[in-house]
Amino acid sequence: MIVRDSGSQDVRIEQHIVLARQMVRKLAVQCGLRLVDQTKLITAASELARNAVIYGGGGAMDWAILERETRTGLRLVFRDEGPGIPDLGLAMTDGWTSGSGLGLGLTGAKRLVDEFELDSAPGAGTRVTIIKWT
Amino acid sequence: MERIPILRMGDILLVTIQVDMHDQLALTLQDDLSEKIRATSARGVLIDISALDIVDSFIGRMISTISGLASIMDATTVLVGMQPAVAITLVELGLTLPGVRTALNVDRGMRLLNERADDES
């Protein structure tokens, strides 16, 4: 797997969620993802960016354009130094939320992408990695 | 402050969302719309999202809330113009917008609202 290009975008305040979406849209087009896949990835990014802002107290989105054989992928890593998630199994349950949301952010985002990885522990922040391939 | 305009056409309020909404803007629209329903005694609310590239769970929830709120205030909400890619994504996300009426475009949405008004008169 080759990383062709990479960068980072702050996701600290609510306005950054919109910027993250716009960034992901631009990159998804650049990767050649078809429209439905662009829409899915942008939506997943929006959910995860909001989680980072609301539950993680702000963080960042690292992006990378990947190449594997004939396919191109866009990898997004949302990381924060927030309180972390004590029970990962519970957090991955549809409809469960520690806040006032719908509880669809993490589980919904997972369904919208090809690869999903959640890494978190109490006090150690949260890191969510998603990839969408062409 | 930035706002989404709400147009009045007879008994119907028309909202066309044409910008990538940040969360606060969505909440402001919710407040503005309920106030406008009260002020105009509107019977219908038409929300056109044909210009939206994505609808995430936050915007989805805002749409559901507006619909519920309007219903309590005796107004029917119709959501129109959802792009196919957005519809596919919403269903996969797990958001099916229960209780929200939809129509393919503004024309059909208007017809739906007018039919309801005729039924009642």
Tens of pLDDT, residue by residue over B19-55, are: 888 889 999 999 999 999 999 999 999 999 999 999 9
Q: What secondary structure does DSSP assign to A34-94, as a single string?
A: -HHHHHHHHHHHHHHHHHHHHTSSSEEEEEEEEEETTEEEEEEEEEE-SS--S-HHHHTST
Q: What is the mean pLDDT of each run of 10 residues along chain A (134 residues)?
A: 93 95 97 97 96 93 95 96 86 74 81 95 93 96
Q: What pLDDT score does A92 carry?
A: 83
Chain B environment of A39 (Cβ under 8 Å): 53-54, 83, 85-86, 88-89
pLDDT of residue A130: 97
Tokens coding A10:
């702050």
Enumerate the domain spans of chain A: 2-133
The token pair at B99 is: 């209780």
Nearest residue to B64 (alpha-carbon basis) of B98, B88, B31, B40:
B98
Q: Which amino acid is at A41?
A: L
- Looking at this protein, which amino acid is placed at residue B60? G
Structure confidence at residue A100 (pLDDT):
61
**Given this model, what pLDDT does residue A86 score?**
82
ipTM of the complex: 0.89
Of B20, B84, B88, the CB nearest to A18: B20
User: Quick check: B119 pLDDT over 90?
Assistant: no
Shortest Cα–Cα distance, A106 to chain B (Å): 10
Distance from CA of A48 to the nearest CA of B (A): 11
Residues A48-67 have pLDDT tens digits of 999 999 999 999 999 999 99
pLDDT higher than 80, residue B81 = yes
Sequence-distant (≥ 6) Cβ neighbours of residue B17 within 8 angstroms: B4, B29, B47, B48, B49, B51, B52
Residues in chain A closer than 8 A to B91 (CB atoms): none
Query: Rounded to 10 degrees, what is the CA torsion of A104, A106, A111, A114?
Result: 160
pLDDT value of position A98 = 67
Give me A24's structure tokens: 């992901």
- Which of B89, B95, B97 is the best substitution to test chain A (most A C-beta atoms within 10 A)? B89
Cα–Cα distance, A56 to B33 (Å, whole number): 31
pLDDT of residue B121: 64
How many distinct helices (H) and strands (E) make up chain B? Answer: 4, 5
For residue B7, pLDDT beyond 80: yes
State residue B2's pLDDT score.
Answer: 83
Confidence (pTM)? 0.91
Helix (H/G/I), strand (E/B), else coil: A119 = strand
Fold for domain A2-133?
Heat Shock Protein 90 (3.30.565)
As a whole number, mean pLDDT of residues B73-81 equals 95
User: Mean pLDDT for chain B?
Assistant: 92
Instruction: Pick the residue from chain B with its C-alpha nearest to A17.
Output: B22
To probe the interface with B, which of A43, A96, A116 has the most B CB atoms within 10 Å? A43
